[in-house]
Structure 1
Amino acid sequence: MESSNRSWVDIGVNLTDSSFDKDRNDVIERAFAQGVKTLIITGTSLSESLEAIELCQKYPGHLFCTVGVHPHYAKDHTDSDYLNIPALCKEECVVACGETGLDFNRNFSEPTQQINAFEKQLEIAHETNLPLFLHERDAHKKQIEMLRSHRDDITAAVAHCFTGSKTELYNYLDLDLHIGITGWICDERRGQELQQLAREIPDNRLLLETDAPYLIPRDIRPKPKSRRNLPEYLPHIADKVASLRKQDLDALQQMVTDNSIKFFNLPATA
Structure 2
Amino acid sequence: MIITDTHIHLYSEAFDEDRNEVIQRAFSYGVERFFIPAIDSSYTQAMYNLENSYPKNVFLMTGLHPTHVKEDYLDELRHVEQTLLSRSFYAIGEIGIDLYWDKTYLKEQRMAFKTQIQLAKKYDLPIVIHCREAFEEIFEVLEEEKDDKLFGIFHCFTGTKEQAERAIGFNMKLGIGGVVTFKNGKIDTFLKKIDLSHIVLETDAPYLAPVPHRGKRNEAGYILNVLNKLADVYELDINTIAEVTTRNSKEVFGI
- The answer to whether TM tops 0.5 is yes
Equivalent residue, structure 2, for 1:254: 243
User: Residue by residue, what CA displacement relative to the aligned partner does 1:157-203 show, whole Å, maximum 9, x if unpaired?
Assistant: 21100011122112102222110000111112x21x20112212222
Equivalent residue, structure 2, for 1:229: 218
Letter in 1 for 2:3: W
Equivalent residue, structure 1, for 2:37: 42
Equivalent residue, structure 2, for 1:205: 198
Cα deviation, residue 135, structure 1: 0.5
Equivalent residue, structure 2, for 1:118: 113
Secondary structure in 2 matching 1:136 = strand
1:142 and 1:238 mapped to 2: Cα distance? 30
User: Which segment is superposed worse, 125-134 or 152-161?
Assistant: 152-161
Cα deviation, residue 214, structure 1: 0.8
For the 8 Å contact 2:151–2:170, the answer to whether it is kept is no
1:154 and 1:54 mapped to 2: Cα distance? 31
Cα deviation, residue 246, structure 1: 1.1
For the 8 Å contact 1:49–1:68, the answer to whether it is kept is no
2:9 is aligned with 1:14: yes
Gap runs ≥5 in structure 1: 1-5
User: Residue by residue, what CA displacement relative to the aligned partner does 1:91-117 show, whole Å, maximum 9, x if unpaired?
Assistant: 666211011000112117511121121
Of 54, 68, 71, the match for 1:73? 68
For the 8 Å contact 1:42–1:49, the answer to whether it is kept is no
Letter in 1 for 2:191: A
For the 8 Å contact 2:73–2:108, the answer to whether it is kept is no
How do 1:24-103 residues align onto structure 2 when only pairs under 5 Å count?
24-75=19-70, 77-89=72-84, 94-103=89-98
Once superposed, what is the RMSD of the aligned Cα atoms? 1.9
1:35 and 1:93 mapped to 2: Cα distance? 26
1:256 and 1:90 mapped to 2: Cα distance? 30
1:92 and 1:200 mapped to 2: Cα distance? 39
User: Which segment is superposed worse, 72-81 or 198-207?
Assistant: 72-81
For the 8 Å contact 1:13–1:212, the answer to whether it is kept is yes
Letter in 2 for 1:151: K
2:248 is aligned with 1:264: no
State the 4+ residue runs in structure 1 displaced beyond 4 angstroms. Answer: 90-93
1:61 and 1:126 mapped to 2: Cα distance? 26
1:61 and 1:89 mapped to 2: Cα distance? 20
| TM-score calculated relative to the size of structure 1 | 0.88
For the 8 Å contact 2:124–2:149, the answer to whether it is kept is yes
1:155 and 1:176 mapped to 2: Cα distance? 7
For the 8 Å contact 1:56–1:93, the answer to whether it is kept is no
Cα deviation, residue 139, structure 1: 1.1
1:76 and 1:242 mapped to 2: Cα distance? 44
Letter in 2 for 1:7: I
1:255 and 1:98 mapped to 2: Cα distance? 23
> Alignment identity in percent?
29
1:37 and 1:91 mapped to 2: Cα distance? 26
Aligned pairs, number:
255
How do 1:87-166 residues align onto structure 2 when only pairs under 5 Å count?
87-89=82-84, 94-107=89-102, 110-152=105-147, 154-166=149-161
Alpha carbons of 1:93 and 1:234: their partners in 2 closer, same or farther (altered >3 Å)? farther
Secondary structure in 1 matching 2:10 = coil
Secondary structure in 2 matching 1:170 = helix
